[in-house]
Structure 1
Amino acid sequence: MSEKPADVVMATAWYPPYDLGGTEVYLEGLVQELSHKGLTCAVLVPRAPGAPDRYEHLGTTVWTYPVELPETRQPGSGTRRHGQFDRFQALLRQNPRAIYHQHSWTTGCGLDHLRAARAQGLRTVLTLHVAGAVCLRGTLLRFGETPCDGLVEETRCGACWAESRGAPRAAAWAVGRLPRALAARAWQGRTRLATALSARALALGKAQELDEAFELSDRLVAVCQWLADTLTRNGAPPDKLALSRHGLAASYLAEAGQAAARKRSEDTRLRLVYLGRWDRAKGIHVAVAALRSLPEKMPVELSIYAIGAAEDDGYEAEVRALAAGDSRIRFHPPRPHSEIAETLAAHDVLVVPSLWLETGPLVVLEAQAAGLYVLGSDLGGIAELVAGTKAGELLRPGSVPDWAKAIERLVARKSEGPLPKFQGLLRSQADVADDMIGLYRSLPPALAPESRLARITP
């Protein structure tokens, strides 16, 4: 892998510059801060289209490995070992004394990869970033409607998943109650019906997968409180579990502060902005529909800076069609992360109309640093970041009338003066790095005297 073995091997399903979402920004910043504090990091990531076997990114070596998906399903949990897995194992062997820190839960970086690290005797840390790590549906919304407690229970979870695949509610419950043996046999099938009938087996597999992940991990990290609570409900050992919230890079905090200071308020329009992915779960259509329901003469505009989703399901086209003919709604190309602070500071309000439980999103912190008011769904991590700040408002997820009324109130409020800004202290990535150094130092067995980590003070 490298001439000098790394202190920490970061494993992730995606990494810059080939992918750039909230988790990727978080991990990129964490790697940089750990490096500044004296730890050598290496990154392992499935090879993205066009990516080489290895590349340098901001001074860190990133090693890629091919992922060939298997043609047949395997019994047991929902994970499937991909082809050329030996390439991943070979990369691990180059760092026999490293701490293995995994940040994803996918076929390309999931349970099999954690197993491999443990089999090679590495100390292991698993950070969970999304609801999909515990939820088959991926949203942690029960039947897509109300927040779930996250406890994996095979009948309930099987029914919820079956409904998400198109089964009517009553039929979904029947599928969730199928005998285990029948559901397990259905999992081996390749038809649409067999897939639907396997719902209970999938839910049971998810529970077993979580149990094994907890067993294989020396430490577990949750990036928000609701996720920590969910892991606890599913049996995560309290002595392994740590809460470490997101932080912002020091460079971004400085840029955002400067951009906010330069901001001028001569524009009487209320300027709303969305930054994120083209994804139905992000609820962009809710904000668009809310704005469209308001009188055309109302001084408000919405700027949408969205990046492509992993799979194009037509959502972007639907949102554009919904906004057609309304000049107040503007679509822009995605901004590079180096321009996010300036982009945000040119607006008044960040809209985060998500329909699922976010663990952040990081853009809320970025907006708070840039002096924006936040309108967000009263769900998960959004609620944790906005509640009690006096610089934001939480709304019913998916309720177009509620979002329209909130926008109308803010239009009137801006006509009387600037909107409130976040006044609290924001965590930095240096704070996150200190959390991780403390956690790494607590790992069994005791660190060797020559380890750099033993000499670093968080």
Structure 2
Amino acid sequence: MRILYITNWFPPEVKGGAEVSLYHTCRAMQRAGVECSVLSINYRGATAADEWYQVDHIPVHRVHFSTHWPLQETVDLRVYRVVLRELAAVKPTLVHIHNVSGASLAPFLACRRAGVPVVNTLHDLWLLCPNNMRYRADGSYCDVARFPNGCGRCFRRYDYWAPVPQRRRLFAALTANVHAFISPSQALIDRHVEAGYAHERFRLVPYGIDEPPAAAPRHPLVQQIVRGAGSQPTLVFAGGGHEHKGAQVVLAAIPRILMGVENARVVIAGGGEERLLERFRSYGPPVVMLGSVGFADMRALFAAADLSIVASVWHENSPLVIYENYQMGTPVAGSRFGGTVELIDEDRTGYLYPVGDAAALAAQVARHFRKAPWERRQMRRSCVQAARTRLSLSAHVAAHLRIYEEAQAA
């Protein structure tokens, strides 16, 4: 079996969990005897590129264009031609497409032209919304029943692409050759079904990532936190200053957390909007600002933390940060919204609170630290168990192989 993976970005260029997940999928597929290659194609590159390289024996063809025009965001003919050439050169058994907001829907059309079977992993709501989130500028959520053709009031400070008339209908037609949409969460499937997609086109497959080898952190502040692990209650929020990740909710919760948990420390990792990062800094020493942190260092940070916060205020799919925390044995306090609900087993691997409710988040944090040490240790063991069973990489790969065989047979 020979699989060509198509994505906007691939390590060492990483924008989020989608690229990390795909990397782990490729590595595991290779171990299973599947021949894999990656086409990383994007019209939003800082500079133009056409080069081959390898990441841990995964062959990657990186093709980036440094210019694009809004009319090309639906179908970019440059991307279409590159994908056709790649298909002719690689001759894949099947193409597995991931994020395409920087490549248009040209990969789907090229695969249709070449007659190659296609599956597509959905990491967000790009089929339904130009900002991939159904999140509006006023912080509300787009109702597909009220706005079947889109609300026109999208949150536009991050990704925003192809806001064309009848976008949902057009995108459904352009992806008609997809044999199966793979979704890491039932919540994401439900959002697409309520927008008119047939339920039988979807396959539920949680993410899977390798358990990392132990590595000493390089970030100086992470080193300090790791050395002092257990000396004071430590919470981690890896959403930085990003509104859709719930930065404003965490900001509002911090005063209550500091009042309710003696000597608490809140660690903020990641970049984002300066106006939000500055508000975090205003809390002084109890809030530790790390800035950008590498993946290995984040694992060390999660391992040293008592509790991690996932405060997303959009229809989050299946946050990879929860998988990473569980592997390190760290419970998660997450918003009761989107795919987060499916990952957190209340009082066993973490806590849920109403989305956007800072007071409820702070109350759950305080409840965690009121538990006896043995209860918190049991939660840590439950997190590791979840990571190694229902959220394991082996289960993820086995499900993908079944879908690949099904697509080829069809």
Shorter-chain TM band:
0.7 to 0.9
2:123 corresponds to: 129
1:68-126 residue CA offsets vs partner (Å, 9 max, x unmatched)? 5443536xxx6141546423322222123431110013141x42111111111111111
Amino acid at match of 1:67: F
Q: How many angstroms apart in 2 are the aligned matches of 1:165 and 1:358? A: 17
Tell me which of 205, 208, 212 is aligned to 1:244: 205
Kindly tell me: are residues 137 and 107 of structure 1, through their superposed partners in 2, closer, same or farther at Cα, counting changes over 3 Å? closer
1:18 corresponds to: 13
1:73 corresponds to: 71
Amino acid at match of 2:206: R
Kindly tell me: are residues 404 and 125 of structure 1, through their superposed partners in 2, closer, same or farther at Cα, counting changes over 3 Å? same
Q: How many angstroms apart in 2 are the aligned matches of 1:443 and 1:165? A: 36
1:283 aligns with 2:274: no
User: Normalising to structure 1: TM-score of the pair?
Assistant: 0.75
Q: How many angstroms apart in 1 are the aligned matches of 2:169 and 2:280? A: 40
1:222 aligns with 2:183: yes
Q: How many angstroms apart in 2 are the aligned matches of 1:354 and 1:344? A: 18
Q: How many angstroms apart in 2 are the aligned matches of 1:117 and 1:69? A: 24
Secondary structure of the residue aligned to 1:431 is helix
- Contact (CA 8 Å) 1:67, 1:85: kept in 2 or not? no
1:435 aligns with 2:396: no
Tell me which of 27, 34, 52 is aligned to 1:39: 34
Kindly tell me: are residues 206 and 417 of structure 1, through their superposed partners in 2, closer, same or farther at Cα, counting changes over 3 Å? closer
- Contact (CA 8 Å) 1:30, 1:430: kept in 2 or not? no
Cα shift at 1:429: 1.8
1:116 aligns with 2:110: yes
1:318 aligns with 2:276: yes
- Contact (CA 8 Å) 1:376, 1:395: kept in 2 or not? yes
Cα shift at 1:409: 3.0
1:258-311 residue CA offsets vs partner (Å, 9 max, x unmatched)? xxxxx99983532001224642101123213311344398311111121x46xx
Q: Which has the larger radius of gyration?
A: 1
- Contact (CA 8 Å) 2:261, 2:366: kept in 1 or not? no
Q: How many angstroms apart in 1 are the aligned matches of 2:261 and 2:119? A: 54
Q: How many angstroms apart in 2 are the aligned matches of 1:103 and 1:277? A: 25
1:187 corresponds to: none
Q: How many angstroms apart in 2 are the aligned matches of 1:442 and 1:297? A: 52
1:349-398 residue CA offsets vs partner (Å, 9 max, x unmatched)? 00111111111101112112212121111111111111445231111222
Kindly tell me: are residues 352 and 84 of structure 1, through their superposed partners in 2, closer, same or farther at Cα, counting changes over 3 Å? closer
Secondary structure of the residue aligned to 1:380 is coil
Secondary structure of the residue aligned to 2:361 is helix
Q: How many angstroms apart in 2 are the aligned matches of 1:431 and 1:297? A: 38
Which is worse superposed, 406-415 or 222-231? Answer: 406-415
- Contact (CA 8 Å) 2:129, 2:150: kept in 1 or not? no
Amino acid at match of 1:406: Q
Which is worse superposed, 31-40 or 337-346? Answer: 337-346
1:99 corresponds to: 94
- Percent of residue pairs identical: 21
Kindly tell me: are residues 339 and 114 of structure 1, through their superposed partners in 2, closer, same or farther at Cα, counting changes over 3 Å? same
- Contact (CA 8 Å) 2:40, 2:63: kept in 1 or not? yes
Residues matched between the structures, number: 387
1:449 corresponds to: none
Amino acid at match of 1:372: T
Kindly tell me: are residues 417 and 163 of structure 1, through their superposed partners in 2, closer, same or farther at Cα, counting changes over 3 Å? closer
2:220 corresponds to: none
- Contact (CA 8 Å) 1:70, 1:83: kept in 2 or not? no
Amino acid at match of 2:311: P
Amino acid at match of 1:138: N
Q: How many angstroms apart in 2 are the aligned matches of 1:352 and 1:381? A: 11
- Contact (CA 8 Å) 2:142, 2:150: kept in 1 or not? no
Secondary structure of the residue aligned to 1:11 is strand
CA-based RMSD = 3.3
Gapped regions of structure 2 (runs ≥ 5): 216-225
Amino acid at match of 1:395: Y
Amino acid at match of 2:121: T
Q: How many angstroms apart in 1 are the aligned matches of 2:70 and 2:370? A: 59
2:62 corresponds to: 64
Q: How many angstroms apart in 2 are the aligned matches of 1:13 and 1:295? A: 44
Secondary structure of the residue aligned to 2:289 is strand
